[in-house]
Structure 1
Amino acid sequence: MFEYFKKKKEKKQEILQRVSEDKEKLKERKQEIAALPESERKAEIESDKLLRKEQKQKRKEEIKSLSRKERKVAKKEAKMYKKLKNRPIRFTGWSVFAAMLLFVVVTVGPTVTSVVENMSGKHISIDTTSAEAIQVREAADIVSEKIANEGLVLLKNENNSLPLEDKKINVFGSTAFTFKYGGGGSGASDLTRAVSLFDALTNAGIEYNKELYDYYMGLPELEATTGNSDTGIVQVVKGMFSNDEAAGEPDVPDAAIDQAKAYSENAMIIVQSDAVEASDVSGNQLELSDEMHCLVEKVANSFNNVTIVVNAGNTLELGFVEEYSSIQSVIWVGTPGPFGTNSLAKALSGDLNPSGRITDTYAYDVESSPASENFGDYKYENLDKAYLNYEEGIYVGYRFYETFYQGNEEGYNQTVQFPFGSGLSYTTFDWNIVSQELNSDSIELQVEVTNTGEVAGKDVVQVYYSAPYTPGGIEKSAINLITFEKTKSLEPGESEVLTIHYDTRDMASYDMENENYILENGTYEIKLSKNVHEIDSTVNFELAEDIVYQTDAVTGTEYKNRFTQSGNELTVLSRNDWEGTYPSDQDDSKVATDKVIERVQGHEYNDDLEMPTTGADNGLKLGDLKGLDYDDPLWNEFLDQLTVDQMINYVSEAAYHTIAIDELGVPNTVLMDGPAGFSFFGFKQFEAGAYPTEIVVASSWNKDLAYEMGEMIGQEAQAYGIHGWYAPALNIHRSPQGGRNFEYMSEDPLLNGMIGSGMAKGASDQGVIVFMKHFIMNEQETNARSGLLVWANEQAMREIHLRPFEMTVKEAGVTGAMSSFSLIDGKWANPALLNGMLRDEWGFEGVVSSDAVFGFMEAPQAITSGNDLMLDVLTAPKQKQLLEEAYEEHPEAITVGLRNSMHNALYATLKTHIFN
């Protein structure tokens, strides 16, 4: 074994040397090209691109000719090369955080006290100890376990090996003692009531091998951490400084194996991943470590019935389960909250019939999707900014695999292990379409679902569509999720008729050339499916003529391309030319154009605005405006009363709260993280309801349950004295490597939108400002907090990245949003996004807060672009100073911007339970 690791280290050093040499050659080549006359330069760049593509294709052909064993080694080396070349940085962003803190301490002096107060939460007053608070928290725990129950996914169950017939089990691996209940950062939650795996097994009537348990507990390197997991900022700091090697695993002696085999033929191993906010993960962190693989091999070769439990918020490589026939079952639990162990144990015993479905594609190689080609650390040579090219376009997750491998079933099966939406049950179901009504306005199907098995269970009817595609025309995925419904628990022989309904225009594609949405004529195949790849039945809808949508269905605002000013040229993936357009970070120009530099560094103030009235005495209190429309004339009279200083203080001091303006009846509000239950990011601990992370909420495929969670969050908010919730997080799983994938829901925008809008509406209905986040394209942690320029085309932005937010605005009526760290189309706090898209096109009325403030995020640009509040823990005094200086130079623009921000924030405040 020692020799193996020695060889592995040598190989890594060899590849690291190759990476260094290649980077040096590339640098020299760039210098050569830069020295050429401009007329020759472009031709040389194109020639180099062509050469790289030819070399890449040649290498692919060489790999194909290798034996399976040689191919595996070659692919592993290629992955290691890429990982070392563009590895996600574990500390980027939070090193900025530390530097900013040091800057504040050294240079600001007296303001250190306010910084400490902000971070400690002394300014935030909530009560979680009242009888009402305790009662609502107990109810929250029930909802939490319901979500864990329905979010659990059975991925494999050969020979009906589960539920266990013999209720005895051997639990192998240190991971059983470090069960991951949730994630780190803002997605962390209160785990003080977490149930250990072994207590959960006992609760479910399953006996575990106590001698094996004692063996692990006796290992000096192992400590039981159940219920004491690091959370919040502690997890983040640990994660950002950890290396990118997968965790090791203690060996198990033969004597322990022999004892365990005599105890039971049932064995279980938990596999995990490490990912927290502020740091992404490398590809090899999503596969088994060598030590863990050794454990799996030893256990699989010794026991007849092995269960693998996937306890991770990121998509792992699970190809190893097919290497051993004894691995009979695979259960995905994700990061299921404090009671997820109970759900797992009940599934093993048969007290729970799994009904969840996975929310991502499980590929044999997690880096096989095009988005993985542009994921990592990319920086401009002539601009102090990092960038990220979304060259995959609309082909995220299953949209790529199902389209690229269309008509190539063998290739698909070699690439995809578990398709998006996969999930099994202990029973069987039959579907029957009992009625259908299809027209240009709406699609409606009545589907009868019957339990044809022997135990009670729930089923999910997934509905997809395939639109007519013209080669070279608008990009379209071969298949798209359009809606879904979940049954109630059906007893054997029982049936339920589900109504499947959606607007026909929801199948439209965005046409960038004509700046509208369009349903092109032809056949639309509507597919009732078990998962994205397993189609149960298909209904065809024939559209004789194109239907063009020029305006938004809700607001009537005319569609137009809003994100075309950057001048950044992308080669976006097209199904019409896979080979010619497939992303490669080798093709990137790392030199920012003058247009990009100007776009990033410039900010325009409108000095032609009329100066508003300030400091008037109109005798109005905020409560006098309760129930009035956003544009009611009385708002102007109220806002005229605000002074410039009051407005500057209000928008600057908005980290986890807003301040009171007593003379105008403006109350202070408390605003809290997080998506898995209220938290103060680990700065300040308090007891609150703790839920599964959002990926598990989504894996329930239960919209009603998502609403119930949001509703419970809202009831907790009322009991504790909280008025705003920094959640739900609606970003996409663009790549399996995203550090916050546990906190996000899915690779599919519609699933994100349907579950997210359910959560948001539940909380909003209880009088809570729901800050849907992170608006938009915050799918990578590496470089995010230093100002990451994200480039994409408008179709991908609208159909993939904006879609969940649009659905949540229109279906949940949210009054809050949190902007992302990302510089969209070259701008942080982009007015085309925050005003043009969010407010004008979608009709959003409410407040936009920044995410946690870092150096590139400045209040004057924010409040004149549609970002109203600064979530600034460290440098609020600096933001005030910046606003004061900007006011001296641009008084009209700054005053109007402040007034708009106050209007937005106070309108949202009036909707909270404070005024009920």
Structure 2
Amino acid sequence: MFEYFKKRKTKKKEILQRVREDKAKRKERKQEIASLPESERKAEIESDKLLRKEQKQQRKEELKSLRRKERKVAKKEAKMYKKLKNRPRRFTGWSIFAAMLLIIGVTFGPTVTSIVENVTGKHITIDTTSEEAIKAREAADVVSEEIANEGLVLLKNENNSLPLADKKINVFGSTAYSFKYGGGGSGSSDQTRAVNLFDALENAGIEYNRELDDYYKGLPELEEVTGNSDTGIVQVIKGMLGSGDEEAGEPDVSDEALTQAKEFSENAMIVVQNEAVEASDVSKDELELSDEMYDLVKKTAENFNNVTIVVNAGNTLELGFVEEFPSIQSVIWTGTPGPFGTNALAKALSGELNPSGRITDTYAYDVESSPASENFGDYQYENLDKSYLNYEEGIYVGYRFYETFYQGNEEGYNQTVQFPFGSGLSYTTFDWEVVNEQLDNESIELQVEVTNTGDVAGKEVVQVYYSPPYTPGGIEKSAINLATFAKTRLLEPGESEELTITHDIRDMASYDMENENYILENGTYEIKLGKNVHEIDSTLDFELSEDIVYETDMDTGTEYKNRFTQSENDLTVLSRNDLEGTYPSDQDDSKVASDKIIERVQGHDFNDDVEMPTTGAENGIELEDLQGLDYDDSLWDEFLDQLTVDQMIDYVSEAAYHTKEIDEHGIPNTVLMDGPAGFNYFFEQFEAGAYPTEIVIASTWNEDLAYEMGESIGQEANAYGIHGWYAPALNIHRSPRGGRNFEYMSEDPVLNGMIGSGMAKGAQEQDVTVFMKHFIMNEQETNARSGMLVWSNEQAMREIHLRPFEMTVKNAEVTGAMSSFSFIDGKWANPELLNGVLRNEWGFEGVVSSDAVFGFMEAPQAVTSGNDLMLDILSAPKQKQLLEEAYDEHPEAITVGLRDSVHNALYATLKTHIFNQ
């Protein structure tokens, strides 16, 4: 063992030296190019780009020519090289504590008191022990199990190997004893009621090999785990410390145990999984099988005729290995399915449950084969103390890339994509028939009769896509896009259901950056009914004879305009007109921030040209007097006139997991809680309903079930005394490596928007403030908490990243949002985002809270830009001081900003159950 680590250390040193030498060469080459005349510079850059592509292809060919063992070694070295090249700066040991103190500017006195109150939750009072609370939790468990049942996805089932014929199974691997019920961080949930895998098998009437179970339990390497015992903050700190960098070993199975298992049954099952936690992204290595796990799979597959692989992961794993072994007959995806996900898995194995879920991401053979992977990781400016991230993939995220890039190249597609977006099988079969269609300039309406033609009851998902007309060199358009979907009820054999599926044709419009509007260009729109994005059942043509231009928002009448171009940060964004020539590469980045970027990041405009509002008036109005009034009712002004500047400063600064009471005006204390998979407090565990993570909720493709979850959360909130919910999380799976992919839903904005709207509406209708998050572009954990500049273009931002939030605002009428850590278009708390888009364009009325505050997030900028509350755990006194100093310099701007922020927060509070009679 010592020799192994010694060799690894030596190899690591060698590769690190190579990394340094290569970095030095690249720097020298960049300086060389920079010194050339502008007319020659572009040609040299293109020449270098072409050379890198050729070298990459050459390396691929060289790898193919190697033997498997040599190829493994070469791939390991390549991974180590890439990891060392892109490794982020990490905090270690006491340095994390010291760094946090520096970031937040902790001082003695009131700051320490504030920290203690926030961490201990002194200001947060909830009751989880009442009869009402217990009933709400019991109801939550029912919904949780329904979601796990419907979110289960059957990806492969050769020879109808499932359900199991003899109801006996051998469970191999240590991973069966550390089943992942959820993820880590604010998206974690209470797993104290989690059912372990073996109990679940027994519950479903499946006999598992107890001798094999005893063998594994007797191994010294094995530590039995059910659920997570760490609080959210501990999980996050572990993520920041990089505790998951090294591969976990997988104990070998002895020949004796293997022989006994073969005598027990020909059925075998292995659980494959990955660790994921907030504050740390996932390496490519973690999305592949470790060598030890591959050896276990190989040994099992060579000794058993019917092997089932269970994918227990919130990130997209590489599953190409399942095609290497004919005996791997079935693959089931559970995701991170909550405390009762093992029950769902066991019932699917036994046949009691017929899987009806669909995956929400593309499963590619290589998780880094998408363009977004080229700009994912640690990127730092050389002349600015900021990290950055270029979204050069534009609109081509997930399946939008694969379906467009490989259009007309089926062989290339099949070599790249293993399971297309939306894939999922059933134990039965279904026929679809479009019995009626109405396609006009307002909407697409299809009536689809779905018939169960098999022998078992089941549910079916009808996915509707569209392919718009595309002009080379014109507006960017994906070859295919999800429009909407619907799911049947449980259909018995021979039973039919007629689904009416509708979507506005406006939803198929593209954003035209040149003319600053949305447009449906004339031509043929192919409306496609698909089993998944690549397997199309039928196609209808919708002809549009002339362009339809949308210049204003249909709900508010606000005129569209480009809002995110002020930085003038040049990107080479992927274009369908030249997919190979514009394919992203982080080697093309300019790591030097322009003067314009530096000025934009460091500057902030305070609008002093406003009238100073009245403060401290004695009008005798209490908050409850405003209940039911419109946001802009004149009585609000009279009420807000009563607040002093100090009261408003306290209110917006001390808003971590609660808002403060102001007794003299009838303003109550409110309680605000994480998280997307069930209520939790970042610093302390408490008993609450626990649900599957959002990726599993989305994999149900069931809006009604998403609504039921939101409704259940809302009922718990009423029972516990919680008034705001930091959820749902609507960000995109931009890359399989995203540390919070388990907490987010999918790679598609429409799926996110439909499921997210359902969750939000269910909770909102129980009089709970729903804080949809993280608004916007919070798809990477590396550097997120240091204030990362995210660059994209307006079309991608509107069509991909803003879309699920827009749908949730308009469909669920949410009264809360949480802004992201990201600097959007060069600004944290970007006013064009929070006021221009969210409030003015979309008509949002309510409160915006920050995410957990770090040093770059300052209250004066926030309250004058549309961010109302500071979720400040550790430095609220510093925020107060900053506001007081800003008030001395900009009294009108700060007072108006504070007043708007308090107005927004109290308007949302009035709509919570705290004021219900």
Q: Does TM, normalized by the shorter one, top 0.5?
A: yes
Residue in structure 1 matched with residue 880 of structure 2 by the alignment: 880
Residue in structure 1 matched with residue 629 of structure 2 by the alignment: 628
The answer as to 2:707 corresponding to 1:711 is no
Measured in 2, the distance between the counterparts of 1:346 and 1:888 equals: 65
Residue in structure 2 matched with residue 161 of structure 1 by the alignment: 161
**Aligned pairs for 1:99-114 within 5 A:** 99-101=99-101, 107-114=107-114
The answer as to 2:384 corresponding to 1:388 is no
**RMSD across aligned positions (CA):** 1.9
1:812–1:478 Cα change, 3 Å: same
Letter in 2 for 1:488: R
Pairwise CA distance, 1:24: 1.5
Measured in 2, the distance between the counterparts of 1:881 and 1:67 equals: 59
Which of 24, 34, 46 is matched with 1:50 structurally? Answer: 46
Measured in 2, the distance between the counterparts of 1:12 and 1:259 equals: 41
Normalised TM-score (structure 1)? 0.97
Pairwise CA distance, 1:26: 2.0
Measured in 2, the distance between the counterparts of 1:194 and 1:42 equals: 63
1:227–1:373 Cα change, 3 Å: closer
- Could you report, residue by residue, the CA deviation over 1:73-126 in whole angstroms, capped at 9, with x for unpaired residues? 366655543333113556599966752247779633442122012011121000
Residue in structure 2 matched with residue 83 of structure 1 by the alignment: 83
1:347–1:89 Cα change, 3 Å: farther
Secondary structure in 1 matching 2:66: helix
1:98–1:675 Cα change, 3 Å: farther
Measured in 2, the distance between the counterparts of 1:98 and 1:560 equals: 44
Query: Are the counterparts in 2 of residues 64 and 71 from structure 1 also a CA contact under 8 Å?
Result: no
1:80–1:576 Cα change, 3 Å: farther
Residue in structure 2 matched with residue 261 of structure 1 by the alignment: 262
**Which stretch of the first structure deviates more once superposed, 80-89 or 663-672?**
80-89
Residue in structure 2 matched with residue 27 of structure 1 by the alignment: 27
Measured in 2, the distance between the counterparts of 1:654 and 1:87 equals: 34
Pairwise CA distance, 1:733: 0.2
Pairwise CA distance, 1:29: 3.4
1:602–1:338 Cα change, 3 Å: same
Residue in structure 2 matched with residue 688 of structure 1 by the alignment: 688
Residue in structure 1 matched with residue 189 of structure 2 by the alignment: 189
**Aligned pairs for 1:545-584 within 5 A:** 545-584=546-585
Secondary structure in 2 matching 1:25: helix
The answer as to 2:479 corresponding to 1:478 is yes
- Could you report, residue by residue, the CA deviation over 1:323-374 in whole angstroms, capped at 9, with x for unpaired residues? 1001000000000000000000000000100000000000000000000000
**Equivalences, count:** 911
- Could you report, residue by residue, the CA deviation over 1:144-183 in whole angstroms, capped at 9, with x for unpaired residues? 0000000000000001000001111111111011000001
Letter in 2 for 1:141: D
**Aligned pairs for 1:527-676 within 5 A:** 527-676=528-677
1:239–1:229 Cα change, 3 Å: same
Residue in structure 2 matched with residue 523 of structure 1 by the alignment: 524
Measured in 1, the distance between the counterparts of 2:216 and 2:585 equals: 45
1:684–1:819 Cα change, 3 Å: same
Residue in structure 1 matched with residue 720 of structure 2 by the alignment: 720
**Aligned pairs for 1:728-807 within 5 A:** 728-807=728-807
1:782–1:104 Cα change, 3 Å: closer
Residue in structure 1 matched with residue 839 of structure 2 by the alignment: 839
Letter in 2 for 1:800: I
Query: Are the counterparts in 2 of residues 96 and 786 from structure 1 also a CA contact under 8 Å?
Result: no
Secondary structure in 2 matching 1:380: coil
Secondary structure in 1 matching 2:576: coil
1:63–1:758 Cα change, 3 Å: same
Letter in 1 for 2:439: L
Query: Are the counterparts in 1 of residues 103 and 855 from structure 2 also a CA contact under 8 Å?
Result: no
Query: Are the counterparts in 1 of residues 104 and 854 from structure 2 also a CA contact under 8 Å?
Result: no
The answer as to 2:289 corresponding to 1:293 is no
Query: Are the counterparts in 2 of residues 189 and 231 from structure 1 also a CA contact under 8 Å?
Result: no
Secondary structure in 2 matching 1:649: helix
- Could you report, residue by residue, the CA deviation over 1:852-875 in whole angstroms, capped at 9, with x for unpaired residues? 000000000000000000000000
Secondary structure in 2 matching 1:456: coil
**Which stretch of the first structure deviates more once superposed, 779-788 or 102-111?**
102-111
Letter in 1 for 2:479: A
Residue in structure 1 matched with residue 701 of structure 2 by the alignment: 701
Pairwise CA distance, 1:765: 0.1
1:325–1:719 Cα change, 3 Å: same
1:413–1:460 Cα change, 3 Å: same
Pairwise CA distance, 1:240: 2.8
Pairwise CA distance, 1:424: 0.3
Secondary structure in 1 matching 2:581: helix
**Which stretch of the first structure deviates more once superposed, 635-644 or 112-121?**
112-121
Pairwise CA distance, 1:220: 1.5
Residue in structure 2 matched with residue 454 of structure 1 by the alignment: 455
1:765–1:611 Cα change, 3 Å: same
Query: Are the counterparts in 1 of residues 375 and 390 from structure 2 also a CA contact under 8 Å?
Result: yes
Letter in 2 for 1:389: N
Pairwise CA distance, 1:17: 2.8
- Could you report, residue by residue, the CA deviation over 1:232-288 in whole angstroms, capped at 9, with x for unpaired residues? 122222233225233220111111101111111111000011110000011111000
Secondary structure in 1 matching 2:155: strand
**Aligned pairs for 1:79-228 within 5 A:** 79-88=79-88, 91=91, 99-101=99-101, 107-228=107-228
Measured in 2, the distance between the counterparts of 1:592 and 1:614 equals: 43
Residue in structure 2 matched with residue 247 of structure 1 by the alignment: 248
Measured in 1, the distance between the counterparts of 2:459 and 2:817 equals: 34
The answer as to 2:866 corresponding to 1:870 is no
Measured in 2, the distance between the counterparts of 1:110 and 1:619 equals: 32
Structure 1 unaligned runs (5+)? none
Pairwise CA distance, 1:594: 0.2
Query: Are the counterparts in 1 of residues 195 and 340 from structure 2 also a CA contact under 8 Å?
Result: yes
Measured in 2, the distance between the counterparts of 1:670 and 1:173 equals: 43
Measured in 1, the distance between the counterparts of 2:338 and 2:177 equals: 15
Residue in structure 2 matched with residue 275 of structure 1 by the alignment: 276
Measured in 2, the distance between the counterparts of 1:92 and 1:889 equals: 39
1:856–1:306 Cα change, 3 Å: same
Pairwise CA distance, 1:793: 0.1
Residue in structure 2 matched with residue 889 of structure 1 by the alignment: 889
1:653–1:5 Cα change, 3 Å: closer
Measured in 1, the distance between the counterparts of 2:746 and 2:648 equals: 39
Residue in structure 2 matched with residue 59 of structure 1 by the alignment: 55
Pairwise CA distance, 1:685: 1.2
Residue in structure 1 matched with residue 66 of structure 2 by the alignment: 70
Measured in 1, the distance between the counterparts of 2:471 and 2:75 equals: 35
Residue in structure 1 matched with residue 332 of structure 2 by the alignment: 331
Structure 2 unaligned runs (5+)? none
Query: Are the counterparts in 2 of residues 184 and 232 from structure 1 also a CA contact under 8 Å?
Result: yes
Letter in 2 for 1:50: E
Pairwise CA distance, 1:70: 3.5
Measured in 1, the distance between the counterparts of 2:93 and 2:625 equals: 44
- Could you report, residue by residue, the CA deviation over 1:193-236 in whole angstroms, capped at 9, with x for unpaired residues? 00011110100001111111111111122111114543412222
Secondary structure in 1 matching 2:853: coil
Pairwise CA distance, 1:59: 2.1
1:895–1:386 Cα change, 3 Å: same
Residue in structure 1 matched with residue 443 of structure 2 by the alignment: 442
**Aligned pairs for 1:363-512 within 5 A:** 363-512=364-513
1:461–1:452 Cα change, 3 Å: same
- Could you report, residue by residue, the CA deviation over 1:497-550 in whole angstroms, capped at 9, with x for unpaired residues? 000101011000000000000000000000000000000000000000000000
Secondary structure in 2 matching 1:426: coil
Normalised TM-score (structure 2)? 0.97
Measured in 2, the distance between the counterparts of 1:654 and 1:737 equals: 32
**Which stretch of the first structure deviates more once superposed, 396-405 or 94-103?**
94-103
- Could you report, residue by residue, the CA deviation over 1:426-479 in whole angstroms, capped at 9, with x for unpaired residues? 000000000000001010000000000000000000000000000000000000
What is the percent sequence identity of the aligned residues? Answer: 82
